[in-house]
Chain A
C-alpha cells in the first residue's frame, strides 16, 4: 500500500468507529478553535504565586532534584562564580557555549583562568553552558531552545551543564513559559527542540537506586542573574 492509501485506511477506520464523516463542520470547527485559542486548563496554585515566591520555589524544587542553584545580581559576577564552581568540583576551567548574546555580554576576560570555546556540543566536552529562555517555578523546570545561540547538544553531551537564566524569566507555570515562547516564535510555531530540564540526568533502572549522570550531565548548575 502507498502512504496515501495507508493514510486513508487509518483515517477511514477512525471515522467508521466514531460513526462520523469527513469534513463535518460541527466537529472540525470546535477542534480548530481549540488549536487557535489554546485555552488554559487548571493551573496549580503553586504556579500562580508571583515573581518573588516563584524564584524561591524554583530554587528549592530544583535543588531537591539534585541541581546546584546560585544567584548573582549582575552578569559581571558570573565569571568568578563559574570559576569557583569548577574549582570546587575539581573540573577543568574550560567550557563551551553557543552564540547566545546574553552569554556573549558576560565580561569573561575579567577572569583569565577561564577558557570559553564556542560551537555545538562535542562528545569530549567536560563542561558546557547555555542560557534558558524561560523557567516554570512549579517544578523547577528550565526551558531551553535549540538553534545557534544554544545548540541542543550542549545540554546533553557534557559531564557538567551550566544553565543561566535571568530572574525575570522565571515564571510560575509551564503555560506561562509556553506563552513566552509564543511571543518569540509566533503562534503554532516552535524551534526544532525545546528541552524542559529539571535537574541532572538520572536513572533508577538498577534496583531502583537513584544514580546521577546516566547518559546526560552528572551535574547541573543553575545561575540566576538579577
Chain B
C-alpha cells in the first residue's frame, strides 16, 4: 500500500475527533493491558523467560546464515521448496508465479503482516486471482479496503455497528431482515460465508510466527483456526515469512511461544499453535500436495548488526502498542502504513525510509512503557531517538524547530547560564500569570495554548527547590 505516514499530524487530529474510533480504542486499555498483567502475574518465571527469549534471538541472529541454510535443508528433505526474496517485489513475483503455475482462481489467506508489508493481495487481484482474507479481523478490513490498525487485532478500530453495516452491504444474497446485533451473530455469518471460500480455494497463503531450523518447520499461532483451514484444504500451501523468524530448535520455539501469547492477548497460550513440515506424505489423507516457503529480506539484512539490529528480535505481539499512550489516543491508521505503534515507529522508517516516515519516531512521549512490556526487551525509545538524530542530521526538520533546539542546547550545556536564565524567568512568569496561575495564551507556545492552558511556574526552579529540601521528597 502507498504510505500515508507523511500526514501523521493530520491523521492524528482526525483520529482524535472520530467518536467511533475513540470508543473502540477505550477497550484496548481494559482488554489487552489488564489481561497481560494477569498472565504475567500467573507465571513467576515470566521475566526469566523474557531474558532467555531475547538471548535465543540474539544467538540466532548472530548465526542467521547458518540457521537459514539448515532450515532450508530440512524443508527440502521433507519435500517442500524454499524461495529467497531479496525485496518485496521479488516476493510478490514468486508468489504470483506459484499461484499461476497452480492454475489458481481463488487464494485463501491466513493473517500475515509480511503479506500486508509486500501488498500481496493487490498484486494477485491485479493478475485476476481472487485473494480472500480469512482471519475475521482481516476479512473486515479487506471488505472496507483498509490497512490493519493493529498487528494482532487488525479491526480493533471498528464498532459492531460498522461491521453490521459492512456485512449488510457485502452479503447481499442473505435475507435483508436477518438480525445482526451481537458479535456472536456477526461471527456466525462470517463463518458461514468464509467456509465456502476455504473449501473452494486452490492455494492457501499463511505467514509464520517462527521457522524452526531443527526440523524445517513453520509455525502459525491463531485463535480462530482460519490459518489451519487455509493451509490444510487447498492443493498448495505458501508460507511467506521474513528471515528473522528463524529459531534453532523446538525447545527455543517453546520459550518464545511462552512469552508470545501472554504478551499479546494475555492468554496463557493461543488456542492453535500449528507446526507444519512439508507437504502431505504419501499415506496422508489430507494436507497440501505442495509446500512452499518464501523467505523475505526487504531491508532486514541492512538492519542486522547496525543501530536497528535489536528490532529484528520483534515477535509481533503488539504489547508495545497496547501500552502506548500515543497509539491509545490516535489508533493505528494515523501511522499511515502497515506497522503502527512504537514497533512501527522504529520499523517503518527502516522499510520505507525516514523521508516518508519521519513523523513516526516523533510520535512518542518517550514514557518507556513499550520497552518495559516488550517480551524481547527491545529498546524502542532508544531506537526512535536514533531516527530523530538521523532526521536532524538530514535537515528534515523545520528551520524554527532547529533554531529552537540549538538555542536550548547552547544553554543546557552551560549549567550556570541555564540556572541564571531559569532563575530570572520563573518569577517573571509567575508574576505574569493571572490569578488562576495559568496562561491562556503565551508567545511561541501557541501550539500548546490553542488547546489548553499552560500551568504557570510557581516562582522557583526545580533545582532551587531541590537544594532547599536537600533532595528530600
Identify the A interface with B (CB < 8 A): 1, 3, 6-7, 9-11, 13-20, 22, 27-28, 30-32, 34-35, 38-42, 44-46, 61, 65, 98, 119-121, 123, 138-141, 146-148, 151-153, 155-157, 173-175, 178, 188-209, 211, 213-217
Contact = CB atoms under 8 A, between A and B. Distances in A.
Nearest to A18: B305
Q: Which 9 A-B pairs have the closest CB atoms?
A: A216-B225, A214-B224, A13-B301, A139-B269, A205-B137, A17-B304, A196-B273, A38-B249, A206-B183
B320 interface: no
Given A175-B254, A208-B31, A216-B228, 5 more contacts: A27-B63, A41-B52, A65-B267, A139-B269, A206-B155
A198 B284 CA distance: 24
Contacts of B187: 203, 206, 211, 213-214
B226 interface: yes
A10 B84 contact: yes
A215 B196 CA distance: 11
B277 A174 contact: no
Contacts of A189: 215
Contact of B158 (A17, A19, A28, A206): A206
B306 A41 contact: no
A106 B69 CA distance: 46
Interface string B210-240: 0001110100000111101100110000000
A209 B163 CA distance: 13
A41 B254 contact: yes
A22 to B, nearest CB: 7
Contacts of B268: 61, 65, 138-139, 198
Nearest to A193: B276
A188 B223 contact: no
Interface stretch (B9-17, B41-49, B119-127): B41-49
Contacts of B69: 11
A203 B228 contact: no
14 contacts: A6-B83, A11-B84, A16-B301, A35-B214, A38-B251, A42-B45, A45-B45, A175-B250, A178-B250, A190-B217, A192-B279, A193-B287, A195-B274, A215-B224
Contacts of B56: 41
B68 interface: yes
A61 B42 CA distance: 12
A208 B277 CA distance: 33
Contacts of B90: 1, 6
Contacts, number: 275
Nearest to B268: A139
Contacts of B153: 204-205, 208
Contacts of B276: 192-193
A21 B155 CA distance: 45
Contact of A215 (B184, B191, B283): B191
A52 to B, nearest CB: 21
Contacts of B252: 41
Nearest to A65: B271
Contacts of B67: 31
A216 B229 contact: yes
B271 A201 contact: yes
Interface in B230-276: 232-233, 243, 248-252, 254-255, 257-258, 265, 267-276
A204 B30 CA distance: 13
B64 interface: yes
A18 B62 CA distance: 7
Nearest to A19: B305
Interface in B37-71: 43-45, 48-49, 52, 56, 59, 62-70
A205 B271 contact: no
A193 B270 CA distance: 17
Contact of B184 (A199, A208, A211): A211
Contacts of B135: 205
B380 interface: no
B232 A41 contact: no
Contact of B49 (A32, A42, A156, A215): A42
Contacts of B70: 31-32, 35
Contacts of B159: 207
B199 interface: yes
A174 to B, nearest CB: 4
A205 B68 contact: no
A146 B280 CA distance: 9
A179 to B, nearest CB: 9
Interface in B12-32: 24, 27-28, 31-32
A157 B198 CA distance: 10
A210 B277 CA distance: 31
B74 interface: yes
B232 A190 contact: no
Q: Name the residue in A44, A175, A193 with the highest tally of chain B Cβ atoms < 10 Å from its Cβ.
A: A193
A107 to B, nearest CB: 25
B171 interface: no
